[in-house]
Each structure stands twice: as C-alpha cells, then as structure tokens.
C-alpha cells in the first residue's frame, strides 16, 4: 500500500503547533510507518506537491503569501486540517483586525522604530486587511483548536485520518 | 405556599413545587441543562438562550431558567435540534466580541469556553465581528475587559441584588450594547462601588478579573456569591 502523503505549513502563527507536532515524540515514528511528510518546515521540498492526502495548516491567513499557500495547499490536498487556535479562530494574529493596516504598519515601523524608520516593502508579502481564520479563506475539513493543540490531540487526529475516518475530538476539544 | 406538581423531564416523572423554574427542578434532580446567564442566588433574566428546552404543546422553545413548572409539564432537554441551536448560540457569542483564549486570564476556568468545548464547537461558522473595544483598568483592584463580555448581566444583578450597590447597567441596544458603571463613569471613579469584588467572582468569563493574574490564572468563587443569598433567605 502506498504511504499517505502529509504536507504541513505555517502561515501567521508562532510555530508552536509545529513544536507540538514534534512533541509527538515516539508517536511520530508510528505515523511515519504509514505516512510520509512531503512538504513543510520540517522537510526540504520547495513547493507544495500535487496529490497530498492530509494538509496540516498552522496559523491565520494574514498576508498575500499566506493566502496563496493556503489556496495551493487546498487545491492539491484531499483533507485540510486547521491546526491550532490561529488557524481555527484567528487567535492572537487577529487582535490587529480592528486597526487599519496602514496605521498598524506605521505604528510598528515608524513610531515604534528606534532607528531606520520606514515601512518595509521589499521582499515582504503585503498584509491582508485582516488576519482571518483558515476557513474564511479556504474550505477546511477538520478543525483542531488549542494554543497549541496537545500532542495527544494531534496524534489522535492523524491516527483517525490514517484510518480513513474524520476525527471527532470529543473530550480532546480545547481552546487556548 | 408549596403546591406540589408532577413534571416529566426527558421522560422521567419528577416531583416539584409550583413556582420553581424548569432549570431549578432539573438541577435539583441532577438533570443537566446548560446555562450561562443564570446563576443560583440571582434573579433569572433569560439573556443567553443556552437553556432553551422543548416543552410539549408549546409552539416555540422556552428558556428553562425563566419558565415556571406546572402540573403535567413535559420537557425535553437535549434533542438534536436543541443541541444544534445551543451550538449556534455559542458560536454567535464567540463571534460577537474578541475571544482570544490563549491570552485570556480565565482560559481553563471560563464558562463560555467550557460550554463551547462541551457542545463540540470546534470552530465557528459565522464571520467574526472584530469590534474595537476598551479595557477599563481604572479600578485599583479589578479590570473590566469588554472584549470578553457576553452581556450575561450576572455582574449587574450581583451588584444590585446582593451587594445592593447597583454600580452596573447595560447601555445601548443590540450589538452596540455595553456594560457601563455608574452612568458611563470609569469603574475606578464609581463612587457607589464598595470594591467588594462580588461582580468579579460572578462573571462567567474573563471580562472581569482581579488585577495581577496572568493567562489562565484567574479562578472564580461563584458558589460563594450564590451562597450569600441562601444564607440570607435562611435568616
Ligand atoms: S472569556 Fe472565555 S471564551 Fe473568551 S477568551 Fe477568555 S477563556 Fe476564551
Ligand atoms: S466590586 Fe462590589 S460594589 Fe463594586 S461593582 Fe462589583 S459588586 Fe458592585
Ligand atoms: S462583565 Fe462578565 S458578568 Fe458582567 S455582563 Fe459581562 S460577561 Fe456577564
Ligand atoms: S441560562 Fe437561561 S437564558 Fe441564560
């Protein structure tokens, strides 16, 4: 049987959900017996490949790049999992949403700058008007809240998906 | 006057006293109906709609916390339809203001959060409102964070009915409604506030907290506030 292909990525998040994924410890060995991680910060691929079975996406959708990657991942993956509070609710990144983007950037990069004040434009993706949860940008199949989700919740979710079931979090459902 | 009546909750026949509400009877008999704005010891206002139940013969759903029982009343507390409505009510509470559990003093001890988790709210299906709201830090010991307030009015009733100070009210209408202290004066300048802290203990969310606590650190002693009423009634 072919191995299940898992892709992961992090958008506007702190990498905490990926840390929690690494915290599966020996659990990850079991996962890797029936799955390969084919894209993400943990592997070396340059582009989200075609034919991914499970996409684990951390972070809110905050920039043009986030949006593009989320759409690519969606188009090329069977199941999309919103991993963690930022992807599920917007969480901390969404705390800027009441403030107009221009004001926000000026506050940080001009008023808040000790030296070389100026809003950077080269090599950084444009900010979207608001940092939105993943489901505001693409269709999401499974939501796993938590900041970060506990390793046992992640392991449970991956386990269910590898068995071909859509996970029901039940008592593992937790925000914050 | 204690007229005895028989009611049915989820099929089980239960003896109750006329005048008790469905929620009181259910709780006294270990039947669970979720509730958020209801708090033992305070008047019931029916604000949150989480306690909605189906009453046989009634054309619409009724809030268990404000509906009195009568002879022969038959109540269903947890049909799939009720569960789905409760989920919607919780999602709407979550999108109305800014609930960022990961940085909230009450995370892990919050009634809204635990109700959401218990009802399987894995995400909300509605667009978030992202209002810009203030945090009142003017009181020397307490904080009011409007971002987390669900307008349940438990603080309003606690202060008016138990402490007798009536510092709080809800001003405005609909989504623009806001909790206000002493006709819009900052809490720290509210001369009628005795700084008893009962409103803080009664608040189900992270909207009211004692100063000095970090994320997940604010636990509340709601039972203490409820017990005050029981003790006074016993006097
Ligand atoms: S008040 Fe409750 S639901 Fe809101 S952010 Fe705090 S813990 Fe979460
Ligand atoms: S601290 Fe006491 S008196 Fe002051 S607002 Fe709260 S309940 Fe009322
Ligand atoms: S401050 Fe707390 S108790 Fe008062 S209305 Fe808001 S959520 Fe309810
Ligand atoms: S508990 Fe009955 S409406 Fe809130």
pTM of the model: 0.95
Q: Do B123 and A169 touch (CB under 8 A)?
A: no
Under the banding of pLDDT at 50, 70 and 90, the label for residue B231 is: confident
* Option in B98, B116, B130 nearest A175 (CB): B116
* Option in A85, A98, A145 nearest B132 (CB): A98
In three-state secondary structure terms, A141 is coil
pLDDT score recorded for residue A15: 96
B100 pocket-lining for ligand 1 (C-beta < 6 Å):
yes
B110 pocket-lining for ligand 1 (C-beta < 6 Å):
yes
Q: What is the ipTM of this complex?
A: 0.93
Ordered by where they begin, the domains of chain A are 4-96+128-172 (3.40.50.700)
Please provide the CATH number assigned to the domain covering B96-233: 3.30.70.20
User: Chain B within 8 Å of A73 (Cβ-Cβ)?
Assistant: no
pLDDT score recorded for residue A50: 97
Crossing angle of helices B80-96 and B111-118, in 10° steps, is: 140
B37 pocket-lining for ligand 4 (C-beta < 6 Å):
yes
Q: For chain B, where do the domains classified as CATH 3.30.70.20 start and end?
A: 96-233
Q: Do B130 and A97 touch (CB under 8 A)?
A: yes
pLDDT score recorded for residue A1: 65
Distance from the Cα of A1 to chain B's closest Cα (Å) equals 32
Question: Which A positions 93-112 lie with beta carbon below 8 A of chain B?
Answer: 94-95, 97-99
pLDDT score recorded for residue B229: 85
CA distances, B103 to each of B4, B36, B57 (Å): 49, 22, 46
C-alpha neighbours within 13 Å on the C-beta side of residue A21? 23
Record the tokens describing residue B21, joined without a space: 């509400």
| Helices (H), ranges, B10-143 | 22-28, 80-96, 111-118
For domain B4-78, which architecture applies?
Answer: Roll (3.10)
If you take atom 1 of ligand 4, which residue's CA is the nearest one?
A: B35
Q: For chain B, where do the domains classified as CATH 3.10.20.740 start and end?
A: 4-78
Residue from A145, A159, A1, A133 nearest A70 by CA? A133
User: Chain B within 8 Å of A136 (Cβ-Cβ)?
Assistant: yes
Instruction: Kindly state the helix (H) or strand (E) to which residue A80 belongs, with its residue range.
Output: strand A77-83
Distance from the alpha carbon of residue B31 to the mean position of ligand 4, in angstroms: 15
- Among chain B residues, the shortest Cα distance to A97 is held by B130
The arithmetic mean of pLDDT across residues B175-184, rounded, is 95
pLDDT tens-digit readout, A104-125: 999 999 999 988 899 998 999 9
pLDDT score recorded for residue B235: 62
Alpha-carbon distance A89 to A173, whole Å?
14
Under the banding of pLDDT at 50, 70 and 90, the label for residue A148 is: very high
Average pLDDT over chain B, rounded to whole? 96
In three-state secondary structure terms, B14 is strand
pLDDT score recorded for residue A7: 98
Q: Do A173 and B216 touch (CB under 8 A)?
A: no
The arithmetic mean of pLDDT across residues B136-155, rounded, is 98
Distance from the alpha carbon of residue A51 to the mean position of ligand 3, in angstroms: 49
B201 pocket-lining for ligand 3 (C-beta < 6 Å):
no
pLDDT score recorded for residue B183: 86
């Amino acid at each position: 049987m072919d191995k299940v292909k898992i892709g992961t990525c992090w958008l506007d998040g702190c990498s905490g959900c990926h840390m929690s994924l690494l915290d599966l410890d020996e659990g990850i060995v079991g996962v890797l017996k029936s799955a390969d991680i084919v894209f993400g910060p943990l592997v070396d691929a340059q582009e989200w490949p075609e034919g991914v079975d499970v996409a684990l996406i951390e972070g809110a959708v905050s920039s043009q790049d986030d949006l593009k990657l989320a759409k690519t991942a969606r188009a090329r993956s069977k199941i999309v999992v919103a991993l963690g509070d930022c992807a599920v609710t917007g969480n901390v990144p969404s705390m800027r949403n009441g403030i107009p983007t221009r004001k926000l950037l000026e506050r940080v990069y001009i008023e808040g700058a000790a030296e070389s004040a100026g809003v950077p434009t080269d090599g950084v993706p444009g900010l979207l008007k608001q940092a939105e949860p993943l489901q505001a940008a693409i269709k999401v199949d499974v939501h796993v809240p938590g900041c970060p989700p506990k390793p046992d919740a992640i392991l449970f979710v991956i386990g269910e998906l590898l068995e071909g079931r859509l996970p029901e979090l039940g008592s593992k459902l937790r925000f914050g | 006057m204690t007229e005895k009546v028989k009611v049915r909750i989820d099929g089980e026949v239960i003896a109750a006293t006329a005048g008790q509400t469905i929620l009181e009877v259910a709780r006294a008999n270990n039947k669970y109906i979720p509730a958020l704005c209801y708090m033992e010891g305070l008047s019931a206002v029916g604000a949150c709609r989480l306690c909605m139940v189906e009453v046989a013969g009634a054309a619409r759903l009724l809030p268990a916390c404000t509906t009195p029982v009568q002879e022969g009343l038959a109540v269903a507390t947890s049909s799939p339809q009720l569960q789905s409505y409760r989920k919607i009510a919780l999602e709407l509470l979550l999108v109305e203001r800014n609930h960022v559990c990961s940085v909230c003093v009450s995370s892990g001890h919050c009634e809204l959060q635990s109700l959401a988790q218990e009802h399987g709210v894995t995400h909300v299906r509605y667009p978030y409102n992202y209002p810009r709201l203030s945090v009142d830090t003017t009181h020397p010991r307490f904080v009011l964070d409007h971002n987390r307030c669900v307008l349940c009015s438990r603080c309003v009733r606690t202060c008016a009915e138990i402490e007798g100070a009536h510092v709080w009210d809800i001003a405005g209408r609909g989504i623009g409604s806001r909790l206000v202290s002493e006709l819009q004066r900052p809490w720290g300048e509210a001369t009628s506030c005795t700084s008893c802290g009962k409103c803080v203990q009664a608040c189900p969310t992270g909207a009211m907290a004692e100063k000095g606590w970090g994320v997940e650190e604010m636990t509340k002693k709601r039972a203490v506030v409820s017990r005050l009423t029981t003790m006074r009634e016993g006097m």
